[in-house]
Amino acid sequence: MERRKRVKTEGGNQNNKNNNNNNYRYTGAGGGVGMEENTLAILDTSSSASFHHLLDDRLAFLEAVRSASLVPENATPPTKKMLEAVFQILKDEDSLNLIMASYQLLSELNKRHPRVCLPKKEKSEASSPSKVLYELIVVEEAWSPFGFSENDEFTSTSSGGSISPSDFHSLIEDIAKRSSERRCKTIETKSLRNMLLFQYLVNVLEGDLVPRIHAFKETLNWILLRECILSKILGSRKVSYKDLVKDCLSIMGDLSHDEPQFTHDQGTNGTFSVVLQKDCHAALELALPEVKKSACIALKKLLQMIMELDSSRNTADKSGLITRADGARLPAAEIILNELAYDSDLLFSFFLLFDEPVWKLKAIIQYFQKYIPKSSVRTRRSNGSSNDATFDGILKCLSNENSAKGIIKKMRPDVLQLLLAHAFQAFLSLSSKHSVEGASDCMQEVEGSSLKEICENIVSAFARLRKEDKQCTILPFSREALFMAATILSNEVTGACS
């Protein structure tokens, strides 16, 4: 299928603007250029002014960009220089006010003026062939916080304040370092800023990837995905992809721990700059848990996107679209599961956070398949997947005395328990969602097993565990799972009576 790329009309304007940039001295007060000059001038004058003027000017600049590019109904996106200046503020400022304002502005701009998008569906068009609908619109000229040059190779040093793949990785490393450090030390603006920056970048990656995935599913055009920013980052020679995934996991573990309340530490005031005293560190204290939570969500999003990319790649591979140029990459799920196998704390917090039920169940089933004896009886299904590829199949294996013994010998008991309980949790989410979303989202892993059966099998699987290993203690999380299963079962009984 041929590659479709169309430049949006707005993109055309943008292009013109960029051309105009070179000879703006000539154009005078022409639309976009005049705006760029005027708004950037707000920043320019402040070189020697006092601190407060700097702060005021920057806020005024952000407000000016906002009212030019977000408020009018047919607003044009800001020019590259303007966006660069806004991004610079998010990256470098120490004032909470400026950090929040620039973050908010960038996120809104990202939503309002996406760089990649699918054409808007018109109601009347919905019935027409999908070819028209999945024509991807890429505004190549639009600014992106990620920096890379024409030949798909990122520039080695970050130029113009943009983020290179290695910058992205070191940002993640930095968050990982700080999140484990700060538990004893004082609150810092820098870590808040980094987490916001990370969130913004993940949102940009998402905005870039999601429409491409949609288009790929329709057209099977692999080039669309190969060109996405995320795949360029993962494929960059400057970044160790495996380390990146591992760092993501370690942040996840650190951030999801419940921290003790921050105490007002008077001694730390001295290190705070004037801004912070003004913005008051109570504000930071209030904001940090919130920002951390959203950083966790962004992290989850990032991992999910990598997995999504992996599975699309798999599809493309089956259709023979992958060439040697694409390089080889281990699927993220495998790296993650390998990491989790050695750390049950991490495993627990990972699956608690990684709560998207379909992915969660898939990952756990994949994990179990390594340990389920291959000799176990397989009932071939129409689509060729074996029985142990379903949650029910795994539970049945565990209820069976012989196969259970084999699994228990190979797996650590705590890991086994946690995985079972987490899979059960994912199953419950799916089964309560199931009635809403209809059959379309019904995945094979849940297929053919009722809630009642699964609850019964969970109970018998745990009973088997206990029987096989008398010493084994039932973990709190497993106790909760059992409580759930029992309550649901007894409810079904009383529900049937009434």
| Among candidate residues 255, 243, 462, 433, the one with its CA nearest the CA of residue 354 | 255
Subset of 274-303 contacting another protein (CB under 8 A): 278-280, 282-291, 293-294
Least distance CB 68 / another protein (angstroms) = 10
Subset of 421-440 contacting another protein (CB under 8 A): 425, 428-429, 431-432, 435-436
Q: Which of 9, 22, 48, 151 binds another protein (CB under 8 A)?
A: 48
Q: Between 241-255 and 332-340, two packed helices, what is the crossing angle to 10 degrees?
A: 50
Subset of 381-420 contacting another protein (CB under 8 A): none
Least distance CB 72 / another protein (angstroms) = 10
Which CB atom, from 55 or from 176, has the smaller least distance to another protein? 55
Least distance CB 483 / another protein (angstroms) = 5
| Among candidate residues 339, 332, 382, the one with its CA nearest the CA of residue 362 | 332
Least distance CB 40 / another protein (angstroms) = 9
Which CB atom, from 309 or from 395, has the smaller least distance to another protein? 395
Least distance CB 435 / another protein (angstroms) = 6
Least distance CB 204 / another protein (angstroms) = 16
Subset of 66-85 contacting another protein (CB under 8 A): 67, 70-71
Least distance CB 372 / another protein (angstroms) = 24
Which of the ranges 6-14, 41-49, 202-210, 303-311 carries the binding residues for another protein, by CB under 8 A?
Answer: 41-49
Say which residue the tokens 């129409």 belong to: 382
CA distances from 98 to 25, 74, 83, 151 (A): 31, 26, 15, 35
Least distance CB 282 / another protein (angstroms) = 5
Contact call for residue 315 and another protein (CB under 8 A): no
Which of the ranges 245-253, 320-328, 392-400, 462-470 carries the binding residues for another protein, by CB under 8 A?
Answer: 462-470
Q: Which of 151, 261, 263, 383 binds another protein (CB under 8 A)?
A: 261
Contact call for residue 45 and another protein (CB under 8 A): yes
CA pair distance 3, 192, nearest whole angstrom: 41
Give yes or no for a contact between 398 and 392, defined as CB atoms under 8 angstroms apart: no
- The encoded tokens of residue 390 equal 């379903």
Number of residues counted as binding another protein (CB under 8 A): 81
Subset of 150-209 contacting another protein (CB under 8 A): 192
Which of the ranges 30-38, 209-217, 367-375, 440-448 carries the binding residues for another protein, by CB under 8 A?
Answer: 30-38
Contact call for residue 371 and another protein (CB under 8 A): no
Contact call for residue 108 and another protein (CB under 8 A): yes
DSSP string over 427-473: HHHHHHHHHHH-GGG--TTTTT--HHHHHHHHHHHHHHHHHH-TTPP
Contact call for residue 65 and another protein (CB under 8 A): no
What letter does residue 411 receive in the DSSP assignment? Answer: S
| Among candidate residues 468, 377, 374, the one with its CA nearest the CA of residue 416 | 468
Distance between start and end Cα atoms, the chain? 59
The residues facing 146 across adjacent strands are: 163
CA pair distance 358, 122, nearest whole angstrom: 30
Contact call for residue 53 and another protein (CB under 8 A): yes
Contact call for residue 20 and another protein (CB under 8 A): no
Q: Which of 42, 230, 372, 461 binds another protein (CB under 8 A)?
A: 42
CA pair distance 187, 494, nearest whole angstrom: 52
- The encoded tokens of residue 429 equal 């989410």
CA distances from 302 to 309, 333, 343 (A): 11, 12, 21
CA pair distance 449, 158, nearest whole angstrom: 53
